[in-house]
Copies of this chain bind each other. A is one copy, B any other.
Amino acid sequence: MALEDPILAPMAAKLANWQPLPAEDREALLALPFRTISFRPQEYIVREGDRPQHSCLILSGFAFRHKTAGNGGRQIFSIHMAGDLADLHNSLLGEADHSLQALNHVQVAFIPVEAIQHIAFSRPAVGKAMWRETLVDASIFREWTLNVGRRNARTRAAHLLCEFALRLETAGLGERTHYQLPMTQEQLADALGLTSVHINRTLMGLAGDGLISRAHRSVRIEDWAGLAEAGDFDSAYLHLPAKVPHGAEAAKAGRSSPRQ
């Protein structure tokens, strides 16, 4: 439908992070066919097992990917925001191996997979950018695995807060030091492999130490360097384009052994 609509602009902007896009390619991206759909909080956008025919671009709001284990435990893999192609993984693989769910009120542009594949292989810059988008997602998955597998509750929580801050800032959706975190503590727990009870105590600990302050769902980072240090946060894994200075470049050393 929409041909020269700027609706897809956030996607073009994000993709240009990964790979410079010639004006023509950008035009072509903006001209991709799509259909806009709104989702209410907690609604499923894609369900594990689906065979999505469309890739979905978040236009506004937040969504998260997750999967449920046989024992009922849920693991959240990533949080997505405006400009993210949040389901290239599922749509390109054919069968969805995880679900995508709305966190709050979300607007999504559904783009046919064939259109995505066509533009990716007819315009190498676009293809590279999209491929990289999926690779950066994968890098974030790895970091989250490390987070959940080898860091204690406090470190995990601080790490997530830093990541979210930086990604929001990069996407131009907020400030690094002060933002709305649209997740319940239970969802936070599912992202960090903890229980909501423990997340609660952990957040209070971070606040008690003056690293953050909270009011309802808004977070203020009072001491970025301190929080990055507490969160063992080094933004390299986000592969951000510009040289934003951030993170606690902690010395890496030592043998294997977990959760400090």
Contacts and interface: CB of A to CB of B under 8 A. Distances in A.
Contact of A139 (B97, B131, B146): B97
Interface centre among A150, A151, A190, by most chain B C-beta atoms within 10 angstroms, is A150
A155 to B, nearest CB: 8
Nearest to A238: B97
Contacts of A149: 73, 75, 148-149, 192-193
A250 interface: yes
Interface in A207-256: 232, 236-237, 239, 248, 250-256
A78 to B, nearest CB: 9
B134 A137 contact: no
Contacts of A250: 70
Interface in A52-74: 65, 67-74
A6 interface: no
A174 interface: no
A194 B75 CA distance: 18
A39 to B, nearest CB: 20
Interface stretch (A23-31, A120-128, A164-172, A175-183): A120-128
Query: How many copies of this chain?
Result: 2
Interface size class of A (residues with CB under 8 A): 35 or more
Given A136-B93, A150-B74, A239-B94, A194 B121 contact: no
A138 interface: yes
A95 interface: yes
A258 B73 contact: yes
A230 to B, nearest CB: 10
Given A71-B150, A259-B73, A95 B236 contact: yes
A68 to B, nearest CB: 5
6 contacts: A71-B259, A72-B253, A75-B146, A97-B139, A144-B145, A190-B256
Interface of A: 48-49, 65, 67-75, 77, 88-89, 92-95, 97-98, 117, 120-121, 124, 127-128, 131-132, 134-139, 141-146, 148-151, 155, 186, 189-190, 192-196, 232, 236-237, 239, 248, 250-260
